[in-house]
Amino acid sequence: ENVERFTLHLKAAVEADVAEVRVYADGLECYHGPPDTVTFEALRDCEGRVVAWVPGQERAGLQLHRTPELDGPIGEVFNRPFVVAYGTAGSADMTALHRREAEQFTSGWRSFMIRDGIGADELGPYPEHRLPERLLQERGLVMFGSLESSHLLQRAYRAGDIPIIVGQDYVTVRDDGADSRDRTYHGKQFGCFVSYPNPLAEGRQYLLIARGQWFTRPDGTEPAGLEYDMEKLPWGYPDYVVFNSDQGQLPHVLNVNNKPPVTCYEAAYFVEADYFDRRWRSRRGVTLDRVRAQRPEGDVRLVHAEQMKLTGGGVQVLVADDGGRPCADARVTVSWPAQRYSASGVTDEDGWVSISAPRDVPPAAQVSVLSIMATGAVHDFTADAVHTSTDGPLRLALSATQEAREPHEPPSYRLTATLLNRGDEAVRGLLHPVTDLGTWLPTEVSYDLQPGAKISLPFIWWPRERGAACRPLPTSDYTLTVASRSDEEQSVSSRARPTASVRVRVGLQNCGPVQLSDVTVPNLTVGQPWQVEGKLYNRGDSDVDVQMACSVIPAEPVVSGLRWCYLPERLVTVPAQGESILSWAQQPGQADLPIGLYEAVIYAPDTPELNIRVRFSVTDDAKR
């Protein structure tokens, strides 16, 4: 279920000496031709089911997908062989700092993970220019350094699209989400751990970039990093972590267990921590989407920035949850981008935090909310009532959910646009779609918001072309955007005309006249012949010819004796406004199916949207 793309080297198979081969995946024929090297990509419908495997296109550069071998998170780096190196491209002080951190980690690893007397190992740490190429290709790399201070990291950033840029005095999260933006944490106090497939090993091994430590004692002593809690290391962190080691901004928090040397709660220093998506890209909504869908045990709260106030010496931010209740002990990080300055603070019991501005900052300088973290909570950035101090009075947010639908009906998406008037005057205008793809209803909505008022406005979006053709849009990710336009009579500055976007995934849709349904396969006892039946319905005004195929495959982990049956294709004519019966049955002399759980797959090779799977079982009648 987690495979999106695969390559077969058929010339190396035992069938390489034959003229033609047939390849099936998930019961679907995906190749018929001479043995060659072939690549396939999954084609999914709007429910996310694989309905066909189509030829994959050759791609330039390093293309990454999560695999069972490289699936993250940080702890997985240490569950396979790795080496440690440190950057030597910076100043002498930088090199000394990276070397100390690398040595501290390897010493902690050896003392906790390696039995005494095991002998010499190749763990390191190595100065990067002395790291053997063999180890770089054969093992994961834990690299202490930054973009400015490491030749290896400079090569890695050039070779691959690593989404987290770890600089010497900044960390930038390059966000690929349509509803988010890049975030840069300015200052040497911000450190980072990030795991990613190593571009210098063609993505076959892990690369873990590590820069910075936090202080484990409340007096700002005993710095530690990756080696701090070896029991937690294999499982405790996501794909990347950004932390703030300035105890003047984020105070030391005592570990609830307080078992030396683990005496501090290191997550109290974390300002951003998340997972990459399935293509190893940073998308802020990955965790948020999961929490929205599952609401895991423990009643995870969704929190957001509710208000922002500029003060004479800085900024105040109010954090609240989705019920409007203030959120205490939340870690808030803000940034003055023009001054390249970022700082963090902790909210009080009323949900407010005060953060000081840098020296000599102009009173009108823009300040932005970068992130919010809190124990038992997730930052719902789409619900932030304020992003920056220069936001206009009108705040616009957009969310999308796929609507439930009847079988064979085209999918639709319900979009909810939320408007909040944070100003002192009424705001009137129109909200309208900007995305010129698909079909929208309505095409615009009027609003009239009094000061402090909040309203949610619905849209429906269908992923199909406008006009008589009404053809479905191709399978892809789409960014949907709405914008606000004020009334001509209303004197509102251009900054009060916000836009909001959300990304949706559109799968393959069946909008044609022929539908496949009523597929049945009875459960069997050993020795009974199997039979698959179904119907094709034609809602059109003319006859339609459809090539259909059927496979019977195991539906559980393969055990000895299970069989695969790939049945001949047949051409079926479906009369206009009528139906045709489909039937495949076990032929005389064909071997019976052994005990097990099976899946019948009926599909049209040339029309992948016609695809249904039905499970059935074969049992021993004597044991029933």
- pLDDT, one tens digit per residue, over 564-581 is 888 888 899 999 999 999
Judge whether residue 354 has pLDDT over 50.
yes
- DSSP-derived 3-state class of residue 196: strand
pLDDT digits (tens, 9 = 90+) for 505-532: 776 666 678 888 889 999 999 889 999 9
In this predicted model, which residue has the larger pLDDT, 63 or 384? 384
From 333, 329, 334, 335, select the one nearest 347 (Cα to Cα): 329
DSSP summary character for residue 63 = -
> Where are the domain boundaries for CATH 2.60.40.10 in the chain?
394-506, 514-623
pLDDT band at 299 (very low <50, low <70, confident <90, very high): confident
From 1-5, 179-183, 366-370, the region with the lowest mean pLDDT: 1-5
Judge whether residue 204 has pLDDT over 50.
yes
What's the mean pLDDT in 33-60? 75
- DSSP-derived 3-state class of residue 611: strand
| DSSP-assigned beta bridge partners for residue 50 | 44
pLDDT digits (tens, 9 = 90+) for 530-572: 999 999 998 888 999 999 999 998 887 655 566 788 888 889 9
Judge whether residue 179 has pLDDT over 90.
no
* Mean pLDDT rounded to a whole number for the chain: 85
What's the mean pLDDT in 350-374? 92
Do the beta carbons of residue 344 and residue 333 sit within 8 Å? Answer: yes
Please give the structure tokens belonging to residue 386.
């304020």
Judge whether residue 48 has pLDDT over 80.
no
Q: Strand (E) positions, 177-323?
A: 183-186, 190-197, 206-211, 214-215, 223-224, 240-244, 254-259, 262-264, 270-274, 301-311, 314-321
Distance CA 124, CA 206 (A): 16
CA angle 591, 597, 533 (to 5 degrees): 70
Distance CA 462, CA 235 (A): 41
pLDDT for 315 equals 94
The position carrying tokens 């615009």 is: 444
Rg of the Cα atoms in the chain:
29
pLDDT digits (tens, 9 = 90+) for 145-163: 999 999 999 999 988 889 9
Write the CA distances from 79 to 70, 71, 265, 506, integer angstroms.
Answer: 11, 12, 24, 36
Q: How many CB atoms lie within 10 A of CB 226?
A: 24
**pLDDT > 90 fraction of the chain, expressed in percent and rounded:** 46
Do the beta carbons of residue 205 and residue 77 sit within 8 Å? Answer: no
Length of the chain (residues): 624
User: Which strands sit side by side in the sheet containing 164-166, from one edge to the other?
Assistant: 164-166, 170-173, 183-186
Give the distance, in angstroms, between the CA of residue 174 and the centroid of all CA atoms in the same chain: 14
- DSSP-derived 3-state class of residue 136: helix
Judge whether residue 496 has pLDDT over 70.
no
CA angle 180, 182, 185 (to 5 degrees): 125
Do the beta carbons of residue 125 and residue 84 sit within 8 Å? Answer: yes
CA angle 536, 555, 514 (to 5 degrees): 15
In this predicted model, which residue has the larger pLDDT, 210 or 383? 210
Judge whether residue 323 has pLDDT over 90.
no
Distance CA 526, CA 411 (A): 41
Buried b (16+ CB within 10 A) or exposed e, 577-595: eeebebebebeeeeeebee
Distance CA 172, CA 182 (A): 7
Highest mean pLDDT among 34-48, 164-178, 337-351, 519-533: 337-351
Q: Please provide the distance, in angstroms rounded to a whole number, between the alpha carbons at the two ends of the chain.
A: 31
The CATH architecture to which 300-383 belongs is: Sandwich (2.60)
Q: How many CB atoms lie within 10 A of CB 285?
A: 21
Distance CA 165, CA 242 (A): 11
The CATH architecture to which 394-506 belongs is: Sandwich (2.60)
pLDDT for 472 equals 73
Write the CA distances from 621 to 527, 529, 553, 569, 596, integer angstroms.
Answer: 10, 14, 21, 32, 13
What's the mean pLDDT in 470-499? 67
**How crowded is the C-beta side of 341, counted as CA atoms within 13 Å?**
14
In this predicted model, which residue has the larger pLDDT, 260 or 453? 453
Q: DSSP for 458-506, please give it.
A: EEEEESB-SSSS-PBPPSEEEEEEEEEEE-TTS---GGG--EEEEEEEE
The position carrying tokens 């049955």 is: 585
**pLDDT > 70 fraction of the chain, expressed in percent and rounded:** 89
Q: Is 513 exposed, middle or buried (0-12, 13-18, 19+ CB in 10 A)?
A: middle
Judge whether residue 39 has pLDDT over 90.
no
- 514-623 is classed CATH 3.20.20.70: no
Give the distance, in angstroms, between the CA of residue 161 and the centroid of all CA atoms in the same chain: 16
Please give the structure tokens belonging to residue 300.
């995870």
Judge whether residue 491 has pLDDT over 80.
no
